[in-house]
Amino acid sequence: MKLVIGLGNVGIHFEGTRHNLGFDTLDTFAANHSMVWQNKDKFKAVIAEATLNKQKVLLVKPITYYNLSGSAVQVLKDFYKLENTDIIVVHDELALPFGTIRTRNAGSDAGNNGMKSIIASLGKDIPRIRIGIANEHSLTNDAADFVLSQFSREEREKLPQIKNEACDLIDAFINQPKLLHESIVIK
């Protein structure tokens, strides 16, 4: 079984923001695989379930708010008795330029509060897909304001390709026992 966690915030005023790129990527993955979202209060999440490559896969969007995602991930890990290697987190990354996607099998939170919460709950050895959101405005704006801002028109035009590349990495994670270190730059 694999858990694919997307980070984001619940609520209409967060839709389309940089910080919801994890949620948005999972929405694309769910649509590509005809998966349907269901609210699961006991797991503090909205979940879509399917069997892919003969393996049960749960897509998870925690409803705890971004910075508290670790509590929802911990509940799911404990319930399904999973190892950290069965879990991957998809999130926006302010430390990477927009259009860059990087995978990691473990590491620090790099200042990402959602990952900080997950690491506090599960440890540093959590596979992740980091999707860059930084641009020329990220250095001059408050980080919290920037991550909660909408993408520019030019960025929105590139988002489908970025999300599809990230979905390909999710498929690779599901189909391979180990996520390879990979870096993709979309121009």
Q: Is pLDDT of 176 > 90?
A: no
Q: Is pLDDT of 90 > 90?
A: yes
| DSSP class per residue in the chain | -EEEEE----SGGGTTBGGGHHHHHHHHHHHHTT--EEEEGGGTEEEEEEEETTEEEEEEEESS-GGGHHHHHHHHHHHHT--GGGEEEEEEEEEEETTEEEEESS---TT-HHHHHHHHHH-S---EEEEEEE-TTTTTS-HHHHHTSBPPHHHHHHHHHHHHHHHHHHHHHHHSSSPPP-EEE--
175: pLDDT confidence band, cut at 50, 70 and 90?
A: confident
Q: Is pLDDT of 179 > 70?
A: no
- What's the pLDDT at 180? 59
Q: Is pLDDT of 177 > 80?
A: no
Determine the average pLDDT of the residues in 73-83. Answer: 96
Selected residue with higher pLDDT from 153 and 183: 153
Catalytic residue among 13, 19, 91, 181: 19
For the chain, the average pLDDT equals: 92
Q: Is pLDDT of 77 > 80?
A: yes
Determine the average pLDDT of the residues in 116-132. Answer: 94
- What's the pLDDT at 187? 60
- What's the pLDDT at 139? 76
- What's the pLDDT at 142? 86
Q: Say which CATH superfamily domain 2-185 falls into.
A: Peptidyl-tRNA hydrolase (3.40.50.1470)
**Is 91 labeled as catalytic in the residue annotation?**
no
Quick: pLDDT tens for 9-48: 999 999 999 999 999 999 999 999 999 999 999 999 999 9
- What's the pLDDT at 80? 96
